[in-house]
Amino acid sequence: MDIHEILKTCDHTLLRVDASSAEIMQLCDQAIQYGCASVCIPPCHVAGAKRYVGDRLKICTVIGFPNGYCTTAVKAFETADAIRNGADEVDMVINLSMVKDRCWDLVKADILAVRRASEGKILKVIIECCLLTEEEKIKLCEIVTACHADFIKTSTGFSKGGATREDVRLMREHCPTAVKVKAAGGISSLQDAEDFLALGAERLGTSRIVKLAMELDKASE
């Protein structure tokens, strides 16, 4: 698969807690140069990044990140604030405590609050697969679908594991085509990227693919 086609699916990501404004601007420059789907950045950098890129690039940010255990009201407020600041897409983390307690109505209400606050924007729901049983993953596919999210996402990349081929396959099998799959965390090679896309992922959360493209460009000089 051509690397430029892979790059079109990438949310070029920098969520490190000490990321500077200069690093975020550099991330944006790279994403524009290589035709990425978006940059995924911390909420505090959204307004500055949006001013910097204007309409040249989609800005994605994270909600309830990385633990997901803030209250529903906080997530809704954080979402509305991010959108006011210029976010085009939001990736929210579900409340895993609610999942483990099997409080499915509360899980759904949590997602729906963010869906309402993000109306008209792309919503991706991070379910953190590495902490879930297969039964929980399948149930969350059902709930995310019912909440009319645009994507279901494997991982934050900040827990004990990232995307796996098995999880992407399972999510694609248990979500309708209207709900897309985003694989994130641990995508370290072109082969990883190709495999996830072949299994049905339509977005990749990674910074590594842009770095590989830069290395290829440098090698060809």
Q: What is the amino acid identity at position 197?
A: L
101 catalytically annotated: no
End-to-end CA distance of the chain: give it in Å, rounded.
Answer: 22
> Rounded to whole angstroms, how far apart are CA atoms 214 and 27?
12
pLDDT in the model for residue 133: 98
Taking the model in full, what pTM does it have?
Answer: 0.96
> Rounded to whole angstroms, how far apart are CA atoms 65 and 20?
18
pLDDT in the model for residue 74: 98
Low-confidence ranges of the chain (pLDDT < 50): none
182 catalytically annotated: yes
Could you tell me the fold of the domain covering 3-220?
Answer: TIM Barrel (3.20.20)
Assess contact for 163 and 183: CB atoms under 8 A.
yes
Q: Where are the beta strands (DSSP E) in 28-97?
A: 38-41, 58-63, 89-93
Considering the candidates 91, 110, 150, 167, report the single residue annotated as catalytic: 91
91 catalytically annotated: yes
Considering the candidates 153, 167, 180, 192, report the single residue annotated as catalytic: 153
Query: Nearest 5°: CA angle at 188, between 19 and 61?
Result: 40
The domain limits of the chain are 3-220
> Rounded to whole angstroms, how far apart are CA atoms 57 and 173?
31
pLDDT (tens digit, 9 = 90+) per residue, 59-105?
999 999 999 999 999 999 999 999 999 999 999 999 999 999 999 99
